A = this chain, B = another copy of it.
């Protein structure tokens, strides 16, 4: 989050491939939200719902979709010619922001933010309070912060930043340009790919939860497998990825996981999967590429989520269940449409009860009527 020297709107537009409308020489130093943005800042609007807010934003530059011009600017132009209608038109900005017109403003905004607010850089250093095993093998450009411990035969790739208090066991491999935030714990033998970001306290490689019971109590089932975290993965604070019993637990390339998530032993998560906070995944479950999982979801063991599945927050997936492509919801998990229908029917139960009562009454009247006749 260090600040860069300012860039002009023209430079930013070129970076993302957008079209400049207005003064392209305006200097931009920071990204900001529509509401908070002020001079020297760039904001974006993508949803038509916020077009009015965009118009009143004090940002020096707005990244906008193609419709923006036709919907908003045309009104403004027409307002200039037809004084009568101005009251109903969208409010004019106090001063005119330069626009960058582009198909996906939010994506462009993310790219521009990366440029204006690059991740913190640290000069290569091994802090003198760090404790390094003699056989640890660190690239020259690594940053190792205070109170870090690195174990035997562990290798750390170039450009990686290891913040204060991180503890790395023996025989660990960390790739290039990773960021390990304070307090991360890597148990022995785990592997991280390149550009992996682990937030505070992420724990990789603790024993999976497996026991065998006899008359005396529980005996540990061996937890001697490993964990592989592939490239471009980001894991949130205190997320835990347990080592495999035998074999390995895997998180695939480009997958993003939020805080306080539990990934059990032998779980296999594919590429570009997204998992929100506090979800728990039991042993040996498979989540295929590009799945999207909400928060506080619970997976039984040996389940499988197929590529293209989207699972809503708080859903519960039974052991062994296969979740096919589509949107899923509820406990136990079911297609969203079905969930909604069931939920609506449960909401109509009082009415169903009344209907049954009414039918009973009418039936009784008929019966009485007929009895009276015979």
Question: A residues engaging B (CB < 8 A)?
Answer: 1, 31-33, 36, 104, 106-107, 109-111, 113-114, 117, 120, 127, 129, 131, 145-147, 149, 163-165, 167, 181-183, 185, 187-189, 199-201, 203, 206-207, 209, 211-212, 214, 217-222, 224, 232, 234, 236-238, 240, 242, 246-247, 253-254, 256, 258-260, 262, 264, 271-272, 274, 276-278, 280, 282, 295-296, 298, 300, 313-314, 316, 331-332, 341-343, 345-350, 352-353, 355-356, 359-360, 362-363, 366-367, 369-370
Given contacts A238-B260, A359-B363, A369-B370, whether A203 and B201 have CB atoms under 8 Å apart is yes
A221 vs B107: C-alpha distance when bound (angstroms):
8
How many copies the complex holds: the figure is 3
Distance of A177 from chain B, by nearest CB (Å): 14
Closest residue of B by beta carbon distance from A147 = B147
B131 touches A219 (CB 8 A): no
Given contacts A203-B200, A218-B254, A345-B349, whether A131 and B164 have CB atoms under 8 Å apart is yes
- Among candidates B188, B218, B237, B282, residue contacting A120 with C-beta atoms closer than 8 Å: B188
Closest 10 pairs between A and B when the two form their complex, measured CB to CB: A113-B222, A167-B182, A217-B254, A345-B349, A131-B146, A185-B200, A149-B164, A209-B258, A262-B277, A33-B246
Closest residue of B by beta carbon distance from A119 = B220
